[in-house]
Structure 1
Amino acid sequence: MTVLRSTHQLHLGDDVVTKRFTSWGRGEALREWRGLTLLHRFAPGIAPAPLAAALDAEPPEVSMSRIDGTPLRGTVVSRPALRALARTLSAVHRAVPGQALAAIPTGAWHARRVDTHVRSRLARRPDGPWEPVVREALAAGERWLARARLETVSGADAVHPVFGLTDGNIANYLYGGARVRLLDFEDAGRSDRAFELAEISSHLSTWVDSTFDVDFFLGLCPLTEAESARIEHLRRLNALLWLGNLLSDHGTPRRNPPGTAARQAERLLALL
C-alpha cells in the first residue's frame, strides 16, 4: 500500500483506492461521491467505480476502484491522447440527463465565480517588483476587463449545461493507450461545456510541465459559434486568474519553476 499526501491522502491498494480528506468544509467528499456515482450510473467505466463512503466521519473518506492509466500531466500529450480526451469529455458531457443534472449543485468553480474573483483581485492588487512583461500583462488585462462582460457570452446558445470536474488540471485525466478516464471529483458539479473546455485549455498544467496542443484539442470538440466565443472569453479570464495566483502570497510560485509568472504573462498577452 502506498500513501500519497496533498489536500487529501490516498491509500492505494491493489484494487481499491481510499481517498481520505484533510479538508472538507466545501463539501469535497460529498462532491467526490456524487461525481463517482453519477458517472457510474450514466457513463460506467469512464471513472473509478464508487465502493464505499463515510461522508459524516472526521475526516470523511471515499473508497473507489483502482483504474489504470498514466496522467496526462508531465507528458508530451500526443494527438491520439488528445483525441481520446476529446472523446471522453464528449461522452461525459452527453451522459448525465437534464433532470439528474438539474438536481445537483453547481461545481465549486464556475464562470461567475472566476469573473468575480478576478475583478476583486485586480481591484486590490498590491504593487510588486514584477517583471516588465508582467506589468504589461496586468495593465492589458485590466483594460480588457473594463470593457468585457460575462453576460455577453452567457446566452442560451453559449451555455450548454453538463456535468464537469470544474478543474482543468490534466493530472486528473489518465490515458491508457485507447481511452482517457477521469479522476478527482471534489470540485465537480453542474457546469457548462464551454467552461469545462476553457478550464483545461487555460490550466497551468498544460504547459508548465507538459506539452498540450490546445488549438488541436479544441478543434476536436464540436462547438457552436456562441460556445467558441465563450471559450475565448473564459480563457482570458482564467489566464488572468492564473497570473494573479502566481503573483499572490498563497505559495503557488514556490510550486512552479522560476519565470512561470512571466511566461503566464506572455500567454495572457497573446490571448488578449
Structure 2
Amino acid sequence: MQSQTHDLRFTDTEVRKRFLSWADGEADREWRCLRVIAEQAPGIAPRPLRQETADGHPVVVMERLAGEPLGGTPLTAAQTASLGRTLRRLYDIPHEHITAAGIGERRFGPSTLPPALSHWLDEPHDLSPCQDPAQVRAAIDATREWLARPDALLATRLVALGIADLNPANILWDGRTCRLVDFEDGGLTDPAYDLADHVEHLAGRLTGVFDPAALSAAVGLSEDERERMDAYRPLWAAFWLVMLLPGNGGFRRNPAGTTEAQAAHLLTLIR
C-alpha cells in the first residue's frame, strides 16, 4: 500500500512504514510522537518498535493494531465518545514531555498555515477547468480579504500534541475503542486548531463522518476552546479549497463540482 509520502508493509504483528523522502522530516516526527505517546498515553497509538533504513529511505516499524479504519459514514455515538476520550488523552500529555522529545510545531501549524494560504491564494490560478469559475474566484477573493483582516487570526497557542491528519482512515475502531495512526505530520498544536482541521478534513466532511459539536463535546473543549475551534475552521476550509484548485491533486481525484461545493462551504464560514 502506497501514499504520496510513504508505503506500508504489514505482518501479523508489525507495520513497516517506509518514507519516500528524508526531506520533510516525516519519519522523525512520527518516531518522536509515537515514543512520547507510548510513554505518556499508552494504548492510543501504535507502539514504536524500531527505526531502520531501507534502500536509502527512512523506515519506522511499529506494532500492528487491531481494528478497521473508519470513514464513509457518520460516527456512531459510541465511536464519537471513544474518539473524544482518545484525543483527550493525547492532548493531556504534559507539554514538557513533548518538548523534551524534540517535537516542534505540527506541520501546517497555527503559525505557518495562514502565511502559506496567503501565498497560495496570491498565485495566479487558471480556473477555466472549473464548472463555475466565478464562484471559485469569489471564494478565493473573499478568503484573501478575510486573511488580511486584523481580527481574522488568533494568537498562536502551542500547548498540546496533535496528530495533525485525522483523515477518518487514520482512526482504527475495534468495536470498543478508537486508536490513532499516522503521526508523520504531528507535533505541538492547539487542540481547538487540530479539531478544526479534523472536522474540515475533506475525506470526513463530505460524508459527514464528524459531528463538530458532538466531537468537541466528547473531547471536553471549554466554551472558549469551542469558539477558537470555530474561528480556525475557515483556515482549513481554505486549505481544502486550495487543494481542490485546478492543477492540484484534489481537483483530479474528486468528482466535478467538488471545488464549487468547497467554495460555497468556505463562504458560509467567513461571512
TM over 0.5: yes
- In the TM superposition, what is the alpha-carbon distance from 1:209 to its structure 2 partner? 4.5
* CA offset digits 1:4-44 (Å, max 9, x no partner): 11221111101111111112211111111111111111111
Q: For residue 98 of structure 2, what is the aligned residue in structure 1?
A: 101
**d(CA) in 1 for partners of 2:266 and 2:229?**
14
What residue is the counterpart of 1:30 in the other structure? Answer: 28
Cα–Cα, structure 1 residues 226 and 215, in superposed 2: closer, same or farther, change >3 Å? closer
Size of the alignment, in residue pairs? Answer: 264
Give the conservation status (yes or no) of the 8 Å contact 2:216–2:226: no
Contact 1:30/1:55, CA 8 A, preserved across alignment:
no
Does the C-alpha gap of structure 1 residues 211 and 47 become closer, same or farther in structure 2, counting only changes over 3 Å? closer
Question: In the alignment, which residue of structure 2 is the partner of 1:77?
Answer: 75
- 3-state SS of 1:201 partner: helix
Greater shift, 113-122 or 49-58, is seen at: 49-58
Deviations 1:112-131 (A, max 9, x none): 21101111122224242241
Q: Specify the alignment match of 1:154 in structure 2.
A: 155
Match of 1:119 in 2: 118
Q: CA, structure 1 residues 240+134, in 2 after alignment: closer, same or farther (shift >3 Å)?
A: same
* Corresponding residue for residue 270 of structure 1: 268
Q: Deviations over 1:166-215 (max 9, x none)?
A: 22322211122211101011111111211111110111011235533223
Provide TM-score, normalisation by structure 2.
0.89
Report the Cα distance in structure 2 between the residues aligned to 1:13 and 1:75, rounded to whole angstroms.
28
- Which amino acid in 1 is paired with 2:225? E
Runs of 4+ in 1 over 4 A off after TM superposition: 148-151
Indicate if the aligned counterparts of 2:158 and 2:188 stay in contact, CA closer than 8 A.
Answer: no
For residues 55-66 of structure 1, the aligned pairs below 5 Å read 58-66=56-64
Q: What is the rounded CA distance, in whole Å, between the counterparts of 2:166 and 2:14 in structure 1?
A: 25
| Contact map agreement 2:29 2:183 (CA 8 A) in 1 | yes
- Taking the aligned partners of 1:59 and 1:146, their CA distance within structure 2 comes to 41
The two structures have a TM-score, normalised by structure 1, of 0.89
Single out whichever of 227-236 and 178-187 deviates more from structure 2.
227-236
Determine the C-alpha separation between the residues in 2 that align with 1:182 and 1:17. 14
Unaligned runs of 5+ in 1: none
Name the SS of the counterpart of 2:243 in structure 1.
helix
The 8 Å contact of residues 208 and 256 in structure 1, kept in 2 or not, is answered as: no
The Cα RMSD (Å) is 2.1
**Does the C-alpha gap of structure 1 residues 32 and 172 become closer, same or farther in structure 2, counting only changes over 3 Å?**
same
| Aligned position for 1:176 | 174
Give, in whole Å, the separation in 1 of the partners of 2:127 and 2:251.
14
| Alignment-derived partner of residue 17 in structure 2 | 19
Q: 1:167 to 1:150 in 2, by over 3 A?
A: farther
Describe the shift of the 1:170–1:125 C-alpha distance in structure 2 as closer, same or farther (beyond 3 A).
farther
Measured in 1, the distance between the counterparts of 2:174 and 2:261 equals 31
Closer, same or farther: CA 217–166 of 1 in aligned 2, 3 Å:
same
**Could you say if the C-alpha distance between residues 213 and 120 of structure 1 is closer, same or farther in structure 2, counting changes exceeding 3 Å?**
same
Other-structure match for 1:143: 145
| C-alpha contact 1:154 1:230 (8 A) present in aligned 2 | no
Deviations 1:132-162 (A, max 9, x none): 43233223323322315465x226xxx3611
Deviations along 1:60-81, one digit per CA (max 9) or x if unpaired, are 1111111111212223322221
Which residue matches 1:5?
A: 2
Q: 3-state SS of the aligned residue for 1:220? A: helix
Aligned: 1:239 with 2:237: yes
Distance in 2 between the 1:55 and 1:148 partners? 46
2-structure distance, mates of 1:56, 1:107: 26
CA distance in 2 between partners of 1:150 and 1:134 (Å): 21
